[in-house]
Structure 1
Amino acid sequence: MQLHTLEGYIQNIFLAEQPQGLLLLDGCSRADVDMVCAFITDTLGRPLSDLKLIVVTHMHPDHAGGAIPLKKRTGARIAAHPKAAKWYAGVMGRTAHIIDVALMYWVAQRLGKDRRLAWYAPILKPDINLSDQQTLPGFEDWQVIYTPGHTDHDLSLYHGPSGQVYVADLLVKVKGQLHPPYPICHPNQYRQSLHKVATMQAHTLFCAHVKPLQASDIDFEHIIANAPVLPKNHWHATKNRVIKKLRIPRNA
């Protein structure tokens, strides 16, 4: 297994090259589709049909936006957790989708990237539903690890033979220090997911927004101890602002 790292629109993209075909560890953004296809054909010298499986670790724009266009161009199947399909369902879900796309553009601007087409369908219909501990169809040396918290359907992917695990947005860096991502929708599950990864046999962690990490260098206990105990997302942030503005002083 050879793991290729590509620089995406706002995130790292990981493409596993194996004898049976190519595995995309995450759905990337819609803005990355042309680049991923060019890498397969021009750099690897392989037909697009060699991309066999695209895993969507969660539904945020930089992890799911490219999945459907890539499927149309390559014929690859899409795999995700069953809860991913309903993440952006309903009025509140559609609103969250718009906010998340806007946040992606904000991050891109801060990274000095130009504005690119990145809108994508909010509802995903995966070909394969993935559950905790199962192996990836066609790539049985990869194991699915259910690591919710950032959303209710986050997945990590563990390659046992090489001791490497892709954890998507489980960890980010703020001012050079490892931190929980934003949002954290399920704080208790997030801490459990950190503990699950900490106790694995993996020695190298790959993240969507952080350079590769050695597991032995990560102070998981500190991160778990300082992780949010209440949800931190768009809705709670808005609600707290409203409450703060409406709060009446006790001595009024």
Structure 2
Amino acid sequence: MQLHTLNGYIQNIYLAQHPEGLMLLDGCSRADVPMVRRFITQTLGLSLQDLKVIVVTHMHPDHAGGAHLLRRLSGCKIYSHPKAPNWYRGIAGRTAHLVDLSLALWVAGRLNKPRKNIWYSAVLKSDEFIQDGAQVPEFPEWQVLYTPGHTDHDLSIWHAQQRKVYIADLIVRVKNRYVPPYPVCHPNQYRRSLIRVAELPDATLYFAHAAPEHLDSDAFAKIQALAPRLPKNTWRTTKSRIYRALRLPYSST
């Protein structure tokens, strides 16, 4: 297995190349689709139909935004956790979808990237659901790990033979230090997910927003110490600011 790293619009993209075909370890963003297509057909000299599987780790724009379009172009299958299609459900969910699109464009601006079309459906139409401990269909060397916290449906993908694990946004790197992501919607689950990844034997971590690296127990302990005790997301942050502006007592519940 060869793991290719592509420089995406606002995140790293990892493409696993096997004799039986290609697997994207995440759904990238809509803006990344032309680049992924060129890499497969021009750099690797393969057919786009060699892309067999996309694993969507969670529903944010830079992780799910290109999945539907790539499936339409290649005929590949999309796999996700069963909770993923419901993440943006209802009025609150659709609002969160718009907020997340805006945040992705803000990140692009901070990275001096041009503004691009990153719109994608708020509802993921998966071909099949995969849960904790399952092997990825067609690529059984890869095992699915359920690592929620950032959302309620985050997945990581572990290649035991090569000791590589893609953890998406479980950990990010800001100002040269590893920290929890924003948001952390489920703090207790997040802490358990950190412990689970820390216990993988001699693992090299592949991040969506940092270069691959092996983290020792001290590094994980520092990230644990920074993890919020209460949910930290856009709605709660906005609510807190409104209450402070109106000088009203704020409850996190």
Give 2:143's aligned residue. Answer: 143
Q: Deviations over 1:156-211 (max 9, x none)?
A: 00001100000000111121110000000000000000000001114200000011
Partner of 2:190: 190
2: distance between equivalents of 1:204 and 1:20? 24
Equivalent-residue separation in structure 2 for 1:3 and 1:248 (angstroms): 52
Cα displacement (A) at 1:247: 2.9
CA distance in 1, matches of 2:182, 2:237: 11
How is 1:21-170 mapped onto 2 (pairs within 5 angstroms)? 21-170=21-170
Is this contact kept in 1: 2:198–2:217, CA < 8 A?
no
Question: What root-mean-square deviation, in Å, do the aligned CA atoms of Structure 1 and Structure 2 show?
Answer: 1.2
Identical aligned residues as a percent: 58
Aligned to 2:219: 219
CA contact (8 A) 1:205 1:214 kept: yes
Distance in 1, Cα, partners of 2:194 & 2:217: 14
Q: Aligned partners of 2:206, 2:156: CA distance in 1, in Å?
A: 10
Contact 2:194 2:220 in 1 (8 A): yes
Q: Following the alignment from structure 1 to structure 2, what is the Cα–Cα distance between the partners of residues 193 and 248?
A: 35
The offset of 1:246, in angstroms, is 2.7
Aligned equivalents of 2:45, 2:191: Cα separation in 1: 42
State the 1:226 CA deviation: 2.3
Q: Which runs of 5+ in 2 are unaligned?
A: none
In structure 2, the CA distance between the partners of 1:218 and 1:63, relative to structure 1 (3 Å rule), is farther
Map Cα deviations across residues 196-246 of structure 1 (whole Å, 9 max, x no partner).
000111420000001111133761112112210011101100111122123
Question: 1:248 and 1:16, CA in 2 relative to 1: closer, same or farther beyond 3 A?
Answer: closer
Greater displacement, 1-10 / 201-210:
201-210
Q: Which residue of 2 aligns with 1:239?
A: 239
Following superposition, the deviation at residue 248 of structure 1 comes to 5.1
Greater displacement, 24-33 / 239-248: 239-248
Give 3-state SS (helix, strand or coil) of 2:83's partner.
Answer: helix
Query: In 2, distance between residues paired with 1:181 and 1:111?
Result: 17
Please say if residues 25 and 55 of structure 1, whose CA atoms lie closer than 8 Å, have aligned partners that are also in contact.
yes
TM-score (norm 2): 0.96
> Which is worse superposed, 147-156 or 210-219?
210-219
**Structure 1, unpaired ranges of 5+:** none
Q: How has the CA–CA distance of structure 1 residues 248 and 132 changed in structure 2, closer, same or farther, with 3 Å as cutoff?
A: closer
Residues 2-39 of structure 1 deviation map (CA, whole Å, 9 limit, x = unaligned): 00000000000000000110000000000000100110
SS in structure 2 opposite 1:13?
Answer: strand
Total equivalences in the alignment: 249
SS of structure 1 residue aligned to 2:28: coil
Tell me the secondary structure at the aligned position of residue 197 of structure 2: helix
TM-score (ref. length: structure 1) = 0.96
Q: In structure 2, what residue type is equivalent to 1:87?
A: W
Is the aligned partner of 1:181 residue 2:184? no
Write the distance in 2 (CA, Å) between the matches of 1:130 and 1:248: 44
SS of the residue 2:184 aligns to: coil
